[in-house]
Amino acid sequence: HSVHYVHLLLPHIPWIYLPSGAQYQGSTTPGLLVNEVWKEDPWAVRQGLQRHLLQVGYTDSIIGDVLEQLERTGSFDETLLVVVADHGTAFQPGHSRRSPDSETFAEIANIPLFIKYPGQEHGVIDRRVVRSVDILPTIADVIGAGLPADVDGTSLLAPPSNRTATTTYGPEGHVTYD
């Protein structure tokens, strides 16, 4: 058994990559002010979103390359693969890109989490509230490893918890929404 870990800082500011991986020059965050609050100009915010989505395309191609390599080496079926973002990003004129409020909470708090379990043949959509701290207990559960101490998270293979609230943390403290 082996563990391979990749910390890929994509998609992330600066948004400078096309889906091909080619880099482009120019303003990488049009419409974004120094304090990471978007200008009131919807066009500038949409342009920022488009540049972000171009980089999402590049990120998708990198993940596709990883999946192809796993298939090519015959290890895809036995692989536990976790893909997760570190935070979300809001694209709302006049609002912070990273600090949530009532209008941007869903964009910032709902980050992608994809898990492919060993032997999994079909995808499943799990709509329960999951936190990033649930990833480590899930990995430990899948590989049969004990955790050295209590952890905040819960394995996603355990019965669903009653969690309904989501909390995000930012420079101004935390925001919780049900």
> What would the DSSP string read from start to end of 108-166?
HH---EEEE-TT--S-----S---GGGHHHHHHHHHTPPPSS--S---TTSPP-----E
Residue linked to tokens 């032997």: 119
**What are the tens digits of pLDDT across the range 30-65?**
788 878 999 999 999 999 999 999 999 999 999 999
Query: In the predicted model, is pLDDT for residue 80 greater than 60?
Result: yes
**What are the tens digits of pLDDT across the range 133-144?**
899 999 999 999
Q: Say what the pTM is.
A: 0.83
| pLDDT computed for residue 167 by the predictor | 66
Query: In the predicted model, is pLDDT for residue 71 greater than 60?
Result: yes
Specify the DSSP element, H or E, that contains 69: helix 42-72
Cis check: omega of the bond before 159, within 30 degrees of 0: no
Query: In the predicted model, is pLDDT for residue 161 greater than 80?
Result: no
| pLDDT computed for residue 171 by the predictor | 60
For residue 122 the two structure tokens come to: 């079909």
Contact indicator for 110, 167 with CB cutoff of 8 Å? no
Q: How far is CA 69 from CA 26, 63, 66, 75, 157, in A?
A: 34, 10, 5, 9, 27
Model confidence band, residue 156 (pLDDT cutoffs 50, 70, 90): very high
Please tell me the least confidently modeled range out of 4-13, 79-88, 155-164: 155-164
Query: In the predicted model, is pLDDT for residue 24 greater than 80?
Result: yes
Beta bridge partners of 87: none
| pLDDT computed for residue 178 by the predictor | 56
Query: In the predicted model, is pLDDT for residue 114 greater than 80?
Result: yes
For residue 50 the two structure tokens come to: 């488009």
| pLDDT computed for residue 135 by the predictor | 93
**Closest to 130 measured CA to CA, from 103, 106, 112:** 112
| pLDDT computed for residue 111 by the predictor | 85
| pLDDT computed for residue 162 by the predictor | 73
